[in-house]
């Protein structure tokens, strides 16, 4: 998908393998030790993990903010990047919405934009929506 600022980011669920022709230069993955063990062994390119439980929030807000900022910078430089969690909806959608706030959208508009361009149920929980709001407002 193309972010509002023009950079490309691929969002997906780790339940699906990365297409062989779409191997990223860098990936940001969101999950717990269980997801890393089950799906992380197939990730052979440079990547980072944020410990982020399903339907929840990242365990470390500071490291999550830094990793999302790094992903945005990489995408803005033209690197082929992806973000993924288990199913590709809640956590992945939350990060995509945060990236959209980095491109200037308000948190509310970023969530709407993500639901329109990624998945209709992206940013699944009320606390994920509040996290996007906090992330976006801290950038003002």
Query: Splitting the chain (140 residues) into consecutive groups of 10 residues, what average pLDDT does each group show?
Result: 96 82 91 81 90 95 97 98 96 98 97 98 97 86
In 3D, which of 119, 123, 139 has the Cα closest to residue 56? 123
Tokens 């509310």, residue located? 108
CA dihedral 138, 4, 108, 97 (to 10 degrees): -70
Q: Which long-range contacts (CB under 8 A, 24 or more apart) does 58-64 make?
A: 58/30, 58/131
pLDDT of residue 137: 86
Q: Domains (ranges, CATH) in the chain? A: 9-135 (3.90.190.10)
Cα angle for residues 72, 37, 86 (degrees, 5° grid): 50
List phi, psi (to 5°) of 2.
Answer: -100, 120
pLDDT of residue 2: 97
Instruction: Tell me the whole-structure pTM to 2 decimals.
Output: 0.94
């Amino acid at each position: 998908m193309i972010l509002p600022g023009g950079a490309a980011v691929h969002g997906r669920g780790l339940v699906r393998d990365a297409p062989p022709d779409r191997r990223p230069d860098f990936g940001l993955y969101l999950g717990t030790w269980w997801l890393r063990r089950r799906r992380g062994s197939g990730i052979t390119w440079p990547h980072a993990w944020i410990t982020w439980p399903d339907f929840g929030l990242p365990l470390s807000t500071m490291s999550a903010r830094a990793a999302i900022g790094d992903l945005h910078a990489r995408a803005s430089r033209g690197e082929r990047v992806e973000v993924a969690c288990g199913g590709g909806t809640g956590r992945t959608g939350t990060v995509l919405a945060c990236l959209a706030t980095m491109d200037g959208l308000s948190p509310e508009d970023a969530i709407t934009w993500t639901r329109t361009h990624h998945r209709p149920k992206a940013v699944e929980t009320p606390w994920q929506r509040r996290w996007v709001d906090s992330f976006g407002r801290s950038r003002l």
